[in-house]
Amino acid sequence: MGECLRGLNVLCGGDRDMRRRNILTVGGVLLCQLMVVGCVLDARVDLAAAGAMDRLAGSMEGVVNEYHAEIDRADNAMEVAVVDAFVERIRRDVSDEAAVTSHNEKFRLAMKRVRDDRAVEFDRYRAALDNVDLVREVARGLRRLATESMSFEDDARRYLFSLLENAQVSSASPAS
């Protein structure tokens, strides 16, 4: 339950900058999907989509790493609070053996919950980084597709346009 609330807080709550980054990341994913699915196979479009996906992967990785660091700090604070509470209870009930035994069991359960939370969060962190790697892999595939789809005609067209542009630039410049 705690992880769900923390995840919901990061996606919907948290600070304004975090929400903005999450919205931009989701928007970037949708944009890349539209570019990949809705466009005709053209090398320039594929290269542009690959570049956009690389930037998206970088943004996603930053958000995932920030989230992981934030959760790690929260788990560390929780662990410190559990230990402090245990020490305080032991000091208070040092002469009551039954209470100390009860506190000991509760402490072990609390620490197990903290460790379990860390394990679940780390699994989610690895899964999110796997998604980042997948976006990068798709970008590499698009680049490879773009390179393979370039034909002699594309090369000739680019060469002709560069010649025309150079001719326009040289005719537009004043004579020396």
Residues 120-150: tens digit of each pLDDT: 999 999 999 999 999 999 999 988 888 777 7
Question: Is residue 14's pLDDT more than 70?
Answer: no
Read off the pLDDT of residues 49-71 as tens digits, 9 standing for 90 and up. Answer: 889 999 999 999 999 999 999 99
**CA pair distance 105, 114, nearest whole angstrom:** 14
- pTM, two decimals, is 0.59
Q: How far apart are CA 74 and CA 93, in angstroms?
A: 28
Between the CA of residue 125 and those of 65, 68, 94, 132, 149, what are the distances in Å? 8, 7, 41, 11, 36
First to last CA, the chain: 76
Q: With bands split at pLDDT 50, 70 and 90, how would you rate the model's confidence at 11? A: very low
Alpha helices in the chain (DSSP H): 2-12, 16-38, 43-92, 97-149, 152-172
pLDDT score for 161: 76
Q: Which residue has the higher pLDDT, 104 or 156?
A: 104
Torsion of CA 39, 42, 44, 48, to 10 degrees: 30
Distance from C-alpha of 93 to C-alpha of 138, rounded to nearest angstrom = 60
**128 touches 64 (CB < 8 A):** yes
* Encoded tokens for 82: 């559990």
| pLDDT above 90 as % of the chain | 49
